[in-house]
Amino acid sequence: MALEGLASGIFNALSRLKGRRRLNEEELKDMLKSLRRALQEADFNVRQTKEITNRLEERMREEEPRPGVTIQTHAMNILYTELVRMLGPAREIRPHGATIMMVGLYGQGKTTTTAKLAEWYRRRHGVRVAVIEADVHRPGAYSQLQQLLEDSTVEVYGEPDEKDAAAIVRRGLAAHSSADVIIVDTAGRHQLDQELVVELQDMATLMNATERFLVIDAQVGQAAGPVAASFNELVDVNGVIVTKLDGTARGGGALSAVATTGAPIVYVGVGEKVSDLERFESDRFISRLLGMGDIRGLIDLAPDDLDEEEAMRLTERMMSGRFTLNDMYKQMEMMAKVGTVDRLLSFLPANMFGGMGAMGKAQKEAMQDNLERYQVIMDSMTNFEKDEPMSLKAERIRRVARGSGVKEKEVRELIAQWNRSRKMMKGMSGNRKLSKQMRAMMKSGDFDDMQNMGM
Ligand SMILES: Nc1nc2c(ncn2[C@@H]2O[C@H](COP(=O)(O)OP(=O)(O)OP(=O)(O)O)[C@@H](O)[C@H]2O)c(=O)[nH]1
Ligand SMILES: [Mg+2]
């Protein structure tokens, strides 16, 4: 996941409190010092680092943990609220009827993010999206955008030989007047210069942009602050997208610096693929960062043909203790489509499933391989067998193995896996506090005392 370094730094700092009922002065200072280092390594500036650690120190001294809450969890909860406060409230975006202008400096990820957003709105909001390539400076920008969206039904408008960006936008808007959402990709610069300023302002007026999204590479760290401020002045930025959060340790600096400019962060880019976009809501983001999980984010990952309701239903079923091979299959199907197991696990509480989030790379790869093989095996089963895996005795196992071209042993392994999953689900549903919490999380994203659940 993004900001792994920060996550493990915070975890290290707070793990010093593990098992403690009372803290002596030295232990508290020690923890704060190592937290300070973690924040600074993630490029939070000195002032913000100080502010967070001071607030934590103050509240650790003043507030008693609630009954049953360990000091470690108490500290985690305080840190959670302080970080969320620093990153600011979320902004809801309703894409229907929106005209979106993407702005930003060179190479920050504008074109890639244009494609990501288009797909996001098409898939999740079911709207008709058209994108317009209005970058007349970068050679090949139009074909780059076309390529990014070649598997999509999103319409791409461009005129590779035209030198007047505003003219492209004007004709593009006319050509796609029936689209629900229009997204315009613009040219970048090393720095905001006069030519670009005029070009962007002209376009913003011409298209009457309802959304002005600034794209910033997380790699720039704290420098994101001044960049956001200057674009904000120019086109009144109402959403910032921080990209490449997957590839840098400095992301904390970028996020916090943007937050101080007052322009809300609305999405983050977490990879080069068109699907590597996430909605940014500070509470969910921080919850995930602190290893508390983000069940609603998990639902965001659901593929096209598995809508939110179905994901909810599947979770409900898992929690209810009914768990057939079919459910497991659906779950795997969803996992496989969603992409790597790694990404999926990053949404779950770190200590859930016996710490699966902390699995090694080799283990994760093995799991990915298993998923593929299991799917093949299950394609050779009847619906009845998938509903009642207990019915899979010797003869049926032999038939399934033959049908799917695997060894009988592998079929038995799958059944054993189902059995383990079923027991785990049962354990989860038997844990009333946990299931209550899971449901509450799905509804509201409220994670208070998540850490107490012994997951
Ligand atoms: N790892 C990672 N790479 C990204 C992400 N977003 C964009 N990139 C990569 O960053 C590079 C630049 O992206 P572009 O979308 O071309 O950036 P741009 O702002 O349009 O660049 P110009 O048009 O030249 O100003 C490409 O190689 C992208 O694949 C992200 O979230 N994660
Ligand atoms: Mg570009």
Can you list the domains of the chain with their CATH numbers?
4-87 (1.20.120.140), 99-281 (3.40.50.300), 295-453 (1.10.260.30)
Structure tokens, 265 = 């962060």
- Percent of the chain's residues with pLDDT above 70: 78
- Determine the length of the chain: 455
Contacts within 8 Å (CB) and 24+ apart, 75-81:
75/14, 75/17, 75/31, 76/14, 76/290, 76/292, 76/451, 77/448, 77/449, 77/451, 79/10, 79/14, 79/35, 79/52, 79/290, 80/286, 80/287, 80/290, 80/292, 80/447
8-state DSSP, 18: T
Residue list, ligand 1 pocket, CB within 6 Å: 104, 106-112, 135, 138, 141, 188, 243-244, 246-247, 269-272, 276
Taking only the tens of pLDDT, the chain with its 455 residues reads 568 888 889 988 988 888 787 888 888 999 999 999 999 999 999 999 999 999 999 999 998 887 777 888 889 889 988 999 999 888 889 999 999 999 999 999 999 999 999 999 998 888 999 999 999 999 999 999 999 999 999 999 999 999 999 999 999 999 999 999 999 999 998 877 888 889 998 999 999 999 999 999 999 999 999 999 999 999 999 999 999 998 888 889 999 999 888 889 999 999 999 999 999 988 888 888 887 766 666 656 555 545 556 666 666 766 666 778 877 777 666 666 655 566 666 776 665 554 554 556 666 677 677 778 888 999 999 989 988 899 999 999 999 999 999 999 999 999 988 888 777 666 655 666 556 655 555 554 333 333 333 33
- Chain-centroid distance of CA 7 in Å reads 15
CA of residue 106 to ligand 1 center, whole Å: 9
Q: Facing residues of 120 across strands?
A: none
Query: Relative to the CA of 104, which ligand 1 atom is closest?
Result: 19
The Cα 424–Cα 335 span in angstroms is 18
In order, the DSSP letters of 381-447 are S-HHHHH-GGG--HHHHHHHHHHHTS-HHHHHHHHHHHHHHHHHHHHHHH-HHHHHHHHHHHHH---
Ligand nearest to the CA of 243: 1
CA of residue 232 to ligand 1 center, whole Å: 21
- Average pLDDT of the residues of the chain: 84
CA of residue 183 to ligand 2 center, whole Å: 13
Query: Relative to the CA of 112, which ligand 1 atom is closest?
Result: 15
In order, the DSSP letters of 307-343 are -HHHHHHHHHHHHHT---HHHHHHHHHHHHHH--HHH
Pocket test for ligand 1, best of 106, 112, 146 (most atoms within 8 A of CB): 112
Query: Relative to the CA of 271, which ligand 1 atom is closest?
Result: 32
Q: Contact at 8 Å (CB) between 320 and 450?
A: no
- Report the predicted TM-score, pTM, of the whole model to 2 decimal places: 0.74
Ligand nearest to the CA of 110: 1
Beta strands in 249-298 (DSSP E): 265-269, 277-279
CA of residue 252 to ligand 1 center, whole Å: 19
pLDDT tens digit sequence for 286-336: 888 887 766 666 656 555 545 556 666 666 766 666 778 877 777 666 666
